[in-house]
Amino acid sequence: MALQRWFVAGVLLQLAVFACDGKDGAGETTNPGLGGSGGVDPGTGGTTRATSPNLGGTTGAAGGSTRATTTSAGGGGDRGTGGARATGGATGTGGATATGGRTGTGGARATGGTTATGGRVGRGGATGAGGAKATGGSTATGGVRGTGGATGRGGAPGTGGTTANPNAIGPNKTCGCLTSSGDYSGNPLTATIVVNNGQTYDGGCKTYVTKSRASGGLGDGSQEEGQQPLFRVNAGGKLVNVIIGAPAADGVHFYGNATAENIHWLDIGEDAATIKADATVTLDCGSARNGADKVFQVNARATWTVSNFTIKSAGKTMRENGGSCYPVTAVFDHCDISGMSESIFRTDCASSKVTISNTRYSQIGDGLVIVGSSVYNSSSGNVTITNVQKY
Ligand code: ADA
Ligand code: CA
Ligand code: CA
């Protein structure tokens, strides 16, 4: 019987121990019930708490185990109470927050304590720094140099005027003012028009006339001396595009180096033009006609070149003032001279020179050149006559 009770007590104790979940911890029987006549001091449950924070308490030991040594009939000891349930271990602290990875990958998930809850999810790592600055691309090489365009061809030859034949006889140049563009608005002139140094007087192909001195003009164009000129061209002046009608008085006076172009005398007057002071004068293009005696008068040392000019009906084309010897150099080139009652050039100065070239002539009374009392129709001494043609 006693054995049975012990057995029953043991079973009960086992059940109690079993009820004490190991995980909850269990008391340890330290004072087993006394056997014998019945335990009078039932064992108390274990009191030792599990010390591991991570583990529940260990299962309490079985209740009292000391069997009564007596076999008296005492009742079995009281059933020992189970040990106090052990409190669970403290919750493990989470792992330290992982620091971010250098390149911004999240920190490794912290592992929790052994039985505690897991550590908090690691925060993401600090934002990774940007990538290294890209290096520039390599410098591109330039394109292939273009080849230059083909050399342009020269333009077609111009259709300019025909080249004058230097050996042609007579005027071989197209001159202006072949016809008048009307009368000059200042007609009749009562004062000489003066052209000074550096000036060009352009008559615009107008026709200029004057009137008798008795009427307040410059002269009637007769052979009376002392008439005034229509134009006075001082040294350095230029006269162009003028037509002189009747009365022409004493025409044009040159005082020093001067040039004149496109001058036409429809009437020569007392004379057409006079060099009044030492000069080199060029008169290119024009015509003169209807004179009683001299066309061009030379009253000073001069070189006078007349070219591309047509002269008709007078006594002599040029005269170095009678009895004077400045001397004069006269040139007639590419001219057409006709109807001179005496000559083309007359001088009393043996040292004066004259050249008649590339010129046609007709009806020259005494001879082409008269020097003193000598007459020349061909080159000799200071007289040069070349490439002329009589018609
Ligand atoms: C004549 C006269 C000269 C002079 C000349 C001229 O030859 O004898 O003195 O006046 O005319 O310039 O018109
Ligand atoms: Ca005169
Ligand atoms: Ca005169």
Task: Kindly tell me if the per-residue pLDDT of 152 is higher than 50.
Answer: no
Whether residue 225 has its Cβ less than 6 Å from ligand 1: yes
- 11-15, 180-184, 252-256, 373-377: which range is least confident on average? 11-15
Instruction: Give the distance (Å) from ligand 2 centre to CA of residue 154.
Output: 57
Best residue among 271, 295, 297 to mutate for probing ligand 1's pocket (most ligand atoms within 8 Å of CB) is 297
User: Which atom from ligand 1 is nearest to the alpha carbon of 294?
Assistant: 13
Instruction: Give the distance (Å) from ligand 1 centre to CA of residue 225.
Output: 7
Question: What is the per-residue pLDDT for 156?
Answer: 52
Average pLDDT, the chain: 73
Task: Kindly tell me if the per-residue pLDDT of 300 is higher than 50.
Answer: yes
Tell me the ligand closest to 276's alpha carbon.
1
Question: What is the per-residue pLDDT for 142?
Answer: 38
User: Which atom from ligand 1 is nearest to the alpha carbon of 322?
Assistant: 7
Whether residue 324 has its Cβ less than 6 Å from ligand 1: no
More confident residue, 261 or 29: 261
Half-sphere exposure of 47 (CA within 13 A, CB side): 4
Print the SS3 string covering the chain.
CHHHHHHHHHHHHHHHHHHCCHHHCCCCCCCCCCCCCCCCCCCCCCCCCCCCCCCCCCCCCCCCCCCCCCCCCCCCCCCCCCCCCCCCCCCCCCCCCCCCCCCCCCCCCCCCCCCCCCCCCCCCCCCCCCCCCCCCCCCCCCCCCCCCCCCCCCCCCCCCCCCCCCCCCCCCCCCCCCCCCCECCCCCECCCEEECCCCEEEEEEEEECECCHHHCCCCCCCCCCCCCCCEEEECCEEEEEEEECCCCCCCEEEECCEEEEEEEECCCECCCEEEEECEEEEEEEEEEECECCEEEEECCCEEEEEEEEEEEEEEEEEEECCCCCCCEEEEEECCEEEEEEEEEEEECCCCCEEEEEEEEEEEECCEEEEECCEEECCCECCEEEEEEEEC
Whether residue 274 has its Cβ less than 6 Å from ligand 1: yes
Task: Kindly tell me if the per-residue pLDDT of 63 is higher than 70.
Answer: no
Among residues 385, 388, 323, the alpha carbon closest in space to that of 354 is found at 385
- 43-52, 152-161, 198-207, 231-240: which range is least confident on average? 43-52
User: Which atom from ligand 1 is nearest to the alpha carbon of 319?
Assistant: 7
Whether residue 299 has its Cβ less than 6 Å from ligand 1: yes
Among residues 74, 14, 15, the alpha carbon closest in space to that of 39 is found at 74
Instruction: Give the distance (Å) from ligand 1 centre to CA of residue 162.
Output: 42
Dist CA 299 CA 316 (whole Å): 15
Question: What is the per-residue pLDDT for 354?
Answer: 99
Dist CA 236 CA 205 (whole Å): 21
**Percent with pLDDT over 90 in the chain:** 58
19 contacts 81 by C-beta, under 8 angstroms: no
More confident residue, 141 or 256: 256
Q: Token digits for 273?
A: 């033009």
Dist CA 334 CA 318 (whole Å): 16
Whether residue 155 has its Cβ less than 6 Å from ligand 1: no
Backbone dihedral angles phi then psi of residue 298, each to the nearest 5 degrees: -120, 110
Q: Token digits for 298?
A: 């030379």
Dist CA 87 CA 49 (whole Å): 7
Q: What are the tens digits of pLDDT across the range 84-124?
A: 333 333 333 333 333 333 433 333 343 333 333 333 433 43
Instruction: Give the distance (Å) from ligand 1 centre to CA of residue 321.
Output: 7
Question: What is the per-residue pLDDT for 162?
Answer: 57
Instruction: Give the distance (Å) from ligand 2 centre to CA of residue 229.
Output: 12
Quick check: bond before 188 cis, omega within 30? yes
Atom 12 of ligand 1: nearest residue by CA position: 297
**Percent with pLDDT over 70 in the chain:** 58
Task: Kindly tell me if the per-residue pLDDT of 250 is higher than 90.
Answer: yes
Residue identified by tokens 């009742």 is 75
For residue 150, what pLDDT band results from cuts at 50, 70 and 90? low
Question: What is the per-residue pLDDT for 240?
Answer: 98
Among residues 221, 306, 225, the alpha carbon closest in space to that of 266 is found at 221
Question: What is the per-residue pLDDT for 164?
Answer: 79
Task: Kindly tell me if the per-residue pLDDT of 76 is higher than 80.
Answer: no
